[in-house]
Amino acid sequence: MKKLLLLAFVFVFSGVAMAQVKPLTGPNPKAKKAYNDGVANYEKRNYKQAIIEFDKAINMEPKFTQAYFNRGLSKYELKDYKGCIEDLTSCIVLGEATEKTYFLRAKAKIALEDYTGALQDCDKAVELNPANYENYYYRAGIKFQTKDYAAAIADLDKCIGMKGDFAEAYNDRGSAKRENDDVEGAVADYKKAVELKPDFAQAYNNLGSALKQTGDIDGAIAAYVKAVQLKPDYTIAYNNLGSAYFDKGDYDAAIDKFGIALRLKPDYYFAYNNRGAAKMKTKDYNGAVADFSSALQYNGEYAVAILNRGIAKEMNNDFAGACQDWHLALSKGLASAQAFIDNQCDKK
């Protein structure tokens, strides 16, 4: 996922950085030298030193907007999002209110989960350059995050209208449609995404989940299988593939796929929980209790696994243990545990 983020970032902002990080030809040679040293360090990914050089340039030239931008960009790389926003705000105040500045600031705000602020900046970027399909693509992502799926779909419609072969935009629109309860529309978009980009593992995974939602379990399994073929270390897809086999009633296959997910990511507590559920279906109650306990070893707050372990204990004839787990799940906020307690635990 981290990799995906970087790719996405480079995709949009590599041009930004190159444009802003070009060598300076201004009147102050010392400031110019510091700025150029900063650019050189940035390119070597030596972001801390880059910031020191940009600091020097700004001290010498307080209205040096390009230095502000590049220092903000370096701070972004170091995850100093607040510092990034301050520099980009200075940039805008000093008159460098460009599409790219707003976009980078929006990105920093997203990192701080300030979606409202991010959306305002995206709106500004779109206003400054309505012909850039990427502006709509990223603004759609923010709208998705604020659960305004209809608006996200509208932006992605525009984006796709401008660039009809943009597979990622189809994937994202599929996701927005899925969240907007248009699962059939989602399936169509995911299928288009993989048609445009046949090695698009992420879209295959999402297609699998949408198909599962429509009840097409075999279709879902085929899509997940394709996702893991394209990306053999795709843990999430293996977990989803296991859950599809679970829904199909093929619990042995489900146990196998959850097992692969766990080999890829030994602390993946979702897969432990799911494998425990599949083991329950094969009446391996001891194995199920062990898996739910493993899930809790990696995340002690995971109430779902606590509730499930209670069910496994009940089937193992450990009624006291079951009730203990259901009480614990309830105390962790899982309301459905209350029904279990009411119906099957002693009230004396």
Partner 1 sequence: MKKFGHLILVLLVMLITGASLNAQQDVAFKKENFKGREKEMREAVNNIKAGDEFYLQGQYFYGQALQYYLKAYNVNPNNSALNFKIGYCYIYSPNKKKALEHFEKAQKLNNPDYKDVIYYALAWAYHVTLEWDKAIELYTKYRGTVDPKYADELKLVDKRIAECRYGKILMAKPVRVLIENVGGGVNTIYPEYSPVVSADESLMFFTSRRTGTTGKEGKNISEVDEQYYEDIYRAYEDSLMKKWGNVNNLGEVNTGTNDATVNLSPDGQRLLIYKDNSGGGDIYESVLVGNTWTKPYPLGRTVNTGFYETHASYSFDGRILYFVSDRPDPSYGGKDIFYCYIDDKGNLGEPINIGPELNTEYDEEGVFAHPDGKTLYFASRGHNSMGGYDLFKSEFVDGKWTAPVNLGYPINSADDDVFFVVSANNRHAYFSSFKTEGFGEKDIYRLTFLGEEKQFLLATEDNLLTSLDVSVSGKLIEQELDVPTGDLTILKGTVYDKITKKPLAGTIEIVDLDLGSVVSVFPSNSATGKYLVSLPAGKNYSVTASADNYLFKSENFNIPAASGYQEVERDFPLDRIDVGRKIVLKNIFFDFNKYTLRPESTSELERLVALLKKYPKLKIEISGHTDNVGSETYNKTLSENRAKVVVDYLIANGIDKSRLMFVGYGFSQPIASNESDEGRQLNRRTEFKVLAK
> Which residues contact partner 1 by CB under 8 A?
1-2, 4-5, 8, 110, 137-138, 140-142, 144-145, 168, 171-172, 175, 178-179, 202, 205-206, 209, 236, 239-240, 243, 246, 270, 273-274, 277, 280, 304, 307-308, 311, 314-315, 317, 319, 334-336, 339-340, 342-344, 347-348
| Shortest spacing between CB 171 and partner 1, in angstroms | 6
Per the rule left: phi > 0, alpha: psi between -120 and 50, beta: everything else, 28 is: beta
A 10 A CB-CB count for 137 gives: 24
| Shortest spacing between CB 219 and partner 1, in angstroms | 16
| Shortest spacing between CB 314 and partner 1, in angstroms | 7
Q: Which is nearer to partner 1, 93 or 320 (CB)?
A: 320
A 10 A CB-CB count for 163 gives: 15
Q: Which is nearer to partner 1, 89 or 299 (CB)?
A: 299
Range 54-61 contact pairs with CB under 8 angstroms and sequence separation of 24 or more: 56/30, 56/31, 57/31, 57/32, 60/28, 60/30, 60/31, 60/34, 61/26, 61/28, 61/31
| Shortest spacing between CB 138 and partner 1, in angstroms | 5
Q: Which is nearer to partner 1, 64 or 340 (CB)?
A: 340
| Shortest spacing between CB 255 and partner 1, in angstroms | 13
Question: For 249, which DSSP code?
Answer: T
Q: Which is nearer to partner 1, 160 or 311 (CB)?
A: 311
* CA 341 – CA 326 distance, rounded (Å): 6
| Shortest spacing between CB 227 and partner 1, in angstroms | 10
- Tokens linked to 321: 């243990």
Q: Which is nearer to partner 1, 34 or 241 (CB)?
A: 241
* CA 117 – CA 315 distance, rounded (Å): 51
Q: Which is nearer to partner 1, 90 or 274 (CB)?
A: 274
| Shortest spacing between CB 322 and partner 1, in angstroms | 10
Q: Which is nearer to partner 1, 58 or 304 (CB)?
A: 304
* CA 77 – CA 320 distance, rounded (Å): 52
* CA 165 – CA 141 distance, rounded (Å): 18
* CA 134 – CA 172 distance, rounded (Å): 13
Nearest Cα residue to 223 out of 255, 186, 249, 251: 186
